[in-house]
Amino acid sequence: MELWPFLALMTAVSVVVRFAPFVPERYRLAASMLVLLAFLCWAPFALDGFRTFQLARVATWVIVAMGLNILTGYNGQISLGHGALVALGAYTAALLMDSGEQMGFIDSSPWPFWSAIIMAGIITAVAGFLLGIPALRLSGPYLAIATLALAISFPSILHKYDAFTGGGQGVRISQPPPPPFLDGLIDRNQWLFYLSLLIALVMLLLAWSMLRGPLGRALVAVRDSEVAASAMGINVARTKVAAFTISAFYAGVAGGVYTQVLGTVTPESIDILQSINFLTAIVIGGLASIMGSILGAAALIFLPSDAPDLVGNIPGLNTNIVEKTPGAIQGAIVIFVILLMPYGVAGFLHRLARLRPASVLEWFRSRPASLRAWAADVRQDLADTWESRPWNRERFRGSGREER
Amino acid sequence: MLTLIMLAPALLANWRTPWDDWSLFGEQVVSGLATGGIYALVALAIVLIYRSTDVVNFAQGEMAMFATFAMWSLVLAGVDTWLVLIIGVALAASMGGFIERVVVRPVESAPALSVVVVTLGLFVFLNSVATWIWAQGELPKTFPTPFGTDSVDLGFARISQHSIGILVVAFVIMGLLYLLFNHTKVGLAMRATAQNPVASRLMGINVGRMLTLGWALSAAVGGLAGMLIAPVTFLHPGFMLGVLLYAFAAAVLGGLDSPPGAIIGGFTIGVVENLFGTYTPSDWLGAEMKLPLTLLVLVIVLVIRPTGLFGQARTRRV
Amino acid sequence: MLKVSGIRASYGPVLALHDVSLEVEEGSIVTILGSNGAGKTSTLRVISGLLRASAGTVEFRGRRINRRPPDAIVSMGISHVPEGRELFTELSVQENLMLGAYTRRDRAVKTDLDRVLEYFPILAERRRQFAGSLSGGEQQQLAIARGLMSRPRLLLMDEPSLGLAPLVVQEIFRIIATINREERVTILLVEQDAELALSLAKYGYVLETGRVVIADEAARLREDESVRRSYLGY
């Protein structure tokens, strides 16, 4: 099956179950989640190897996006440097799983993948903790640029200290094969997909339960007003550093999974563009939202690969131009999404869910008018600018004593 | 003082130091000042937009790149270099104004992070379109300098005429901007709009038009900076990326809402970058680490002064 | 001079003004009274163009102004001194005043500046200081002075006494009366200090939850039982 029909089918069925009248109210949400899960388990068999691989990567990025959302969406600390944390996790896992040839001083028996991933998460969490402390002093764009500096510097450091990191070649690992009881039923590609899916689900569940509890409320309180939060008894510093640490843990785990799925990691695997893309992803997907993290991660993988084709199919567009400028399509899509949905897709869907049909209709009816209004505004601006040119000024004067 | 801190470790080891060869040091400082002038200009452009709209414009570099490529086309068509400059700056200004009116204004009520992502989208968009229009055939392209290609001997160092040209232009622009903002009605209106848009509307200021003007000015300064650095780095779609990163570092170093801070930050970063490139010991650091090292300096400064050297802490009323 | 008819305005889903109508005669001082949230500030904002009315009209000297943007309205001769003053705190006193004259292109700006400083000598002393460094009373004076710089025919003032000591308030009201008398500027005054406002004004409107409930001459309002009990405290 092709990817997009598959995804459409999956969404349609789960939405139907979610709102189905024939399912008892209490079970609707759980049922639709189960339906989604079932579809995802079916996916590697319904789709081809490449798509399965892409879905595995989406699962990896979902973990990163969730972590970044915890830090930026729920806690308001902007990080443009998560790429470096993911790379740290990826390299940690790779070095632990590596057969030890490149690392002279580490115990040369390779770690099993699950403990490598957990260790990657822990090491990165420590790094996040260390970063979170100076980050207490910074805020807003200053924090963003400082973290960007981190993301920029990391590849250079990886290159330079090649005795540890394998330099430009990076580190290769042998990817884990499917366990014996499944051997023959699924191939390695599919197994890796299930692995990443499982880990992603675990991380999402963890996030969901954590965000429902006091920590989640503390994160949001600190984001909205540090002063008010501390007045309510929340330890602001501890909350902010915790956010960094947890977020880094997620990034590290994701890095570990990344190493699994790709089998190799180099300094260029996760560059600064990727760091910036993570932030773009959660903003487009929806800040402070689990669904937003998922949507953003999906956009991250599928936008570059599918958007040019999808857009090229729109009748009337010159396919030649579309082919040559894939970046332009991506950039344009990002801009359009934000223009239409400033709070991200998830934000938009939330508001949609709360709307009543009458107001939706009203909104649709007002669109042409607001479009016309926007066009009229632009025209008015141009007219005003033309009118106020220096050699043609006829302004209505104020009172002026001379008039009395 | 930053350079002294940085050079202190050299006393401990047998590294190359400034006093080994003063003329080398002099040259590095002067050429650092020249590139610093470029960083200062782009940083000024960034600060200009940030002050008036609280938005960090990540597309600054690409807007400049686009304008510079357009200027290159004009040069190729045989237009005189100085005329190209004028047309190019005008082009950049209109592009900036257009972007503000059409892309940024509709999202001005969105959360700041969303607007930043819009500028990121613009970044990718412009880069891709520029590649499509101009980057067919061999890269990078050469861009002529209007200042001549000779070098001048200052006694303790030699610097290229182009570097002198950069410094002169940079200072002229800074002077003009200072005059604009502090001694003209429009400049006063733009400062007022940045501080208090509501009150500005009550004064009869068309706030929207001020914003458009701010973006146009910022784009013009950026385009000029692009044109000044293109002869040195050669022209290819990514040529402003490095400049942009250093310019961000400079703007943040000086304080995102402080134009003099951007200028000082720019020159500082330029000099520090060059000195790191020359004097870091190559065994365990090396010249290729000059970017991380420069950024490290930035981070250290930020930790000491969280809003940059001259930035003002935003006091918020609860 | 100013005629407001049937204004309806809201902030998002919250309806602030239901049906407000009032008239201001040229050369007079008219006051709008009412408790917090009654819609007094919103009325001024509709007049000066900051808030868009969803129904009703505002006419100034025979011209409809309710669909025009604030900068056009200022050029037509209306100046709004907003609640909370809204000064440019990082600019100097002089710069604030010059911004008040932004829409003017005539040469008399300089003489007006001197004249305004005559009314507010304390501002003349502090000409180069940052507006943010002035005291509350001085800031209010600056706000009024800035409003005068555009040579308005109608001056809208929103709670000039807010947060100021009684003596300072008296001084400011004295200046307001002088401005109305000497400069022949019509004044529409929103005030919480009903006593003071009614002593100055010729006509008054009382607003309650977005509607005009009483409209009468100021002298009669001071005698009115319900007004006295609700707003004057005795």
Residue A366 pLDDT? 65
CB contacts < 8 A (B, C): 61
Confidence tier at B98 by pLDDT (50, 70, 90): very high
Which of C61, A323, A395 has its CA nearest to residue B128?
A: A323
Residue A88 pLDDT? 93
Local mean pLDDT, 10-residue blocks, chain C (234 residues): 87 85 91 86 91 87 83 89 90 92 85 89 89 89 92 92 87 89 90 86 89 86 77 64
From residue A203, alpha-carbon distances to A33, A152, A215, A282, B44 in Å are 16, 27, 16, 16, 43
CB contact under 8 A, B252 and A142: yes
Peptide bond into B140 cis (omega under 30): yes
Q: Residue A168 in contact with residue A176, Cβ under 8 Å?
A: no
How far apart are the C-alpha atoms of C50 and C80, rounded to whole Å? 10
Residue from the list B109, B288, B298 with its beta carbon closest to the beta carbon of A156: B288
Q: Which residue has the tokens 């009203």?
A: A362
- DSSP classification of residue A101: S
Region B40-59 average pLDDT? 90
Kindly state the tokens that stand for B159: 């610097």
Confidence tier at B192 by pLDDT (50, 70, 90): very high
Output the CATH code of domain B20-304: 1.10.3470
**Distance in angstroms between the alpha carbons of the first and the last residue of chain C:** 34
Measured between beta carbons, the chain A residues lying within 8 angstroms of C103 are 395, 398
Chain A residues whose C-beta is within 8 A of a chain C C-beta are: 393, 395-401, 404
Output the CATH code of domain C2-232: 3.40.50.300
Decide if C90 touches B, using CB distance below 8 A.
yes
- Residue A310 CA, distance from chain mean position: 21
What is the SS3 string spanning chain B?
CHHHHHHHHHHHCCCCCHHHCHHHHHHHHHHHHHHHHHHHHHHHHHHHHHHHHCCCCCCHHHHHHHHHHHHHHHHHCCCCHHHHHHHHHHHHHHHHHHHHHHHHHHHCCCCHHHHHHHHHHHHHHHHHHHHHHHCCCCCCECCCCCCCCCEEECCCCEEEHHHHHHHHHHHHHHHHHHHHHHHCHHHHHHHHHHHCHHHHHHCCCCHHHHHHHHHHHHHHHHHHHHHHHHHHHCECCCHHHHHHHHHHHHHHHHCCCCHHHHHHHHHHHHHHHHHHHHHCCCCCCCHHHHHHHHHHHHHHHHHHCCCCCCCCCCCCCC
Residue from the list A156, A279, A374 with its beta carbon closest to the beta carbon of B292: A156
Kindly state the tokens that stand for C119: 């009314």
Residue from the list C48, C88, C102 with its beta carbon closest to the beta carbon of B195: C88
Measured between beta carbons, the chain B residues lying within 8 angstroms of C49 are 201
**Which residue in chain A has the smallest CA separation from B244?**
A145
Measured between beta carbons, the chain A residues lying within 8 angstroms of B98 are none
Which residues between 22 and 41 in chain C have a beta carbon less than 8 angstroms from any beta carbon of chain B?
A: none
Residue B16 pLDDT? 67
Taking the whole predicted model, whether its pTM rises above 0.80 is answered as: yes
**B130 to chain C, minimum CA–CA distance in Å?**
39
Q: Which residue has the tokens 């997909």?
A: A193
Site from B186, B203, B211 to mutate, C interface, most C CB atoms within 10 angstroms: B203
pLDDT at B318 over 80: no
CB contact under 8 A, B199 and C88: yes
Site from A366, A399, A402 to mutate, C interface, most C CB atoms within 10 angstroms: A399
From residue B261, alpha-carbon distances to A217, B48, B269, C73 in Å are 38, 12, 12, 38
The more confident residue out of B162 and B254 is B254
Measured between beta carbons, the chain C residues lying within 8 angstroms of B204 are 70-71, 74-75, 102-103, 150
Residue from the list A398, A401, A404 with its beta carbon closest to the beta carbon of C104: A398
The more confident residue out of A385 and B80 is B80
How far apart are the C-alpha atoms of A106 and A100, rounded to whole Å? 7
Domain ranges of chain B: 20-304
Quick: pLDDT tens for C152-161: 999 999 999 8
For chain B, give the mean pLDDT: 84
Quick: pLDDT tens for B110-151: 888 888 899 999 998 998 888 888 877 677 778 877 777 777
Q: What is the CA radius of gyration of chain A?
A: 25
**C79 to chain B, minimum CA–CA distance in Å?**
7
Confidence tier at B289 by pLDDT (50, 70, 90): confident
Residue from the list B107, B110, B128 with its beta carbon closest to the beta carbon of A331: B128
The maximal CA–CA distance of chain A, rounded, in angstroms, is: 101
Site from B54, B118, B290 to mutate, A interface, most A CB atoms within 10 angstroms: B118
Question: C24 pairs with which residues across the strands?
Answer: C2
Ranges in chain A, pLDDT < 70:
99-109, 316-322, 355-360, 362-363, 365-366, 368-370, 377, 381, 384-404
Kindly state the tokens that stand for B126: 């412009």
Lowest mean pLDDT among B38-42, B233-237, C177-181: B233-237
- Residue A261 CA, distance from chain mean position: 18
Which residues between 62 and 81 in chain C have a beta carbon less than 8 angstroms from any beta carbon of chain A?
A: 75-77
Measured between beta carbons, the chain A residues lying within 8 angstroms of B114 are 283, 338, 342-344
Decide if C103 touches B, using CB distance below 8 A.
yes
**A285 to chain C, minimum CA–CA distance in Å?**
26
**C219 to chain B, minimum CA–CA distance in Å?**
32
**A371 to chain C, minimum CA–CA distance in Å?**
18
CB contact under 8 A, B188 and C80: no
